[in-house]
Amino acid sequence: MTATRAAILVVDDEPRSVEVIARVLGEDFDVHTALGAAEALTILENEWIQAIFCDQRMVERSGVDLLTEVRGRWPDIVRIIVTGYTDPSDMIGAINEAGIHQFITKPWHPDQLMLAAQGATRLYQLQRDYDRLSLELKLAAPAAQARVVERHEKVLANFHFDALVRAPDSPLNEVCRSAAQVAAFDIPVLILGETGTGKELLSRAIHYSSLRSERPFFAVNCGAIPDELLESELFGHKKGSFTGAHTNRIGLLDQADGGTVLLDEIGDVSPAFQVKLLRFLQEGEIRPVGSNDVKRVNVRVLAATHRDLAAEVKTGRFREDLYYRLAALTLTLPPLRERRGDLRALTQRLLDHLCATHGKRVKGFTAEALGCIEAYDWPGNVRELQNEVTRMLVLAGGEHLGADLLSPHVVHGAAAASAKAMPFETAIRDTGPLKDRVERMEALILMETLVRCRWNKSRAAEELGLSRVGLRAKLERYGIARDDAFARSH
């Protein structure tokens, strides 16, 4: 299918001149000709013209006069004057009144005419595209705004305090209540807690519940970055300020202007960097590395650490003045071992998320698996729990995640709790008669094996090299039975 050629109008009261220009341009364009202004206006009213080549000196009406009217009635048409005169007054009038795109002086070269026509029709098309896109953007603005609002509401829902999964009587409830109260006040907050307890999640909840919720939130792990790079990360740097600084960099504090920055693992920063950070907190000013320019920024600072900063201050490893700048209010997140009542809801939420992420569906956990999960101390907290649930989901071959999918150390913890005995390492180090210590070890081994075998006594007896009768006797001797916590349905 042949593409429609661009239409050009040639206007001149000399027939020979019109004929020659039309012949040159006719190779690539649909050329219309007019021997005067009246004929030209008739063509313009009936044809879709993209560019007009008009002679300046015509008897009936000058080119500038005609093109001025064209500009008013058909402003998108690209207007070009062809003239054998270079009167400055004519040129100024053409520019001011007719909005002329280009002058072509006689005698012209065919290539000159062709290039002018190509440029004019291309400009016309660009103008049309711009107008179309402007209209589409104007029409799309409400829809785009609605999408932004929808996404913002989704972010608020994902990072609200309700996103910290917990039971109705969870010890985390008091922390969340305090955090919600302080969120609206523009003061620094120090969040303490073991690694993996959700300090960053609580920080995001504070930010998205504050008056800064529509501004940026950035989190930087201060303990994982050397001083030089941390300074560049937060304050920015100028090109050439140090080896590898190939371009200027805007620091996170500048990018977060009006928003919030979380300084995670603040207890791990060096004394030298503590001084630089203190100056920023006092003055509210940043100076990029290698620059003499100082810029004020408005940023709310939240800080988090797994260390006891008050103890660090007493030993001199952390500046006291910086500590009080960061800790207008201190929140402490409890570890999972102090939130055992939250484990069922939290484990299920993690499983739902992981199923959606990995595209694998299961119905849930067996009672034995949940019992093991609730009995274990989870020293790595939520991160360790998430890794364990991921492992179980990946290895699962059925509809339910059983205790046999748990890591051995998790099962050991459940066995110790259910048998009301000490962990293996403690039992070995414990004092007392050898017979009592061996019995405690034996009880732990029996319980761990039964849990791992999902209380299949035949399988456990075979693994331990015992008969079913012998296994039953040992269970009765040590008082080992399926704990009620293990028997509860999911």
Predicted confidence (pLDDT) per residue in 161-220, tens digit: 877 888 899 999 999 999 999 999 999 999 999 999 999 999 999 999 999 988 999 999
Residue 192's alpha-carbon distances to 175, 294, 303, 338, 435, in angstroms, are 11, 32, 9, 15, 44
| DSSP state string for 473-486 | HHHHHHT----HHH
Amino acid at 396: A
Q: Is 80 exceeded by the pLDDT of residue 322?
A: yes
∠229-197-185 over CA atoms, to 5°?
75
3-state secondary structure of 489: coil
Q: What is the pTM of this model?
A: 0.62
Mean pLDDT of the chain: 85
DSSP 248: -
Question: Taking a C-beta distance cutoff of 8 angstroms, is the pair 402, 363 a contact?
Answer: no
Percent of the chain with pLDDT over 70: 87
∠380-201-204 over CA atoms, to 5°?
160
Minimum mean pLDDT among 233-242, 399-408, 416-425, 430-439: which range?
416-425
Q: What is the pLDDT of residues 114-166, one digit of tens each?
A: 999 999 999 999 888 888 887 777 767 676 666 655 665 665 556 678 778 88
Closest CA to 361 of 311, 324, 398, 312: 398
Closest CA to 346 of 172, 176, 150: 172
Q: Is 60 exceeded by the pLDDT of residue 488?
A: no
Alpha helices in 47-109 (DSSP H): 63-73, 88-93
Q: What is the pLDDT of residues 269-297, one digit of tens each?
A: 999 999 999 999 999 999 988 888 889 99
- The CA distance from 75 to 36, in Å, is 20
- The CA distance from 355 to 382, in Å, is 17
pLDDT at 448: 75
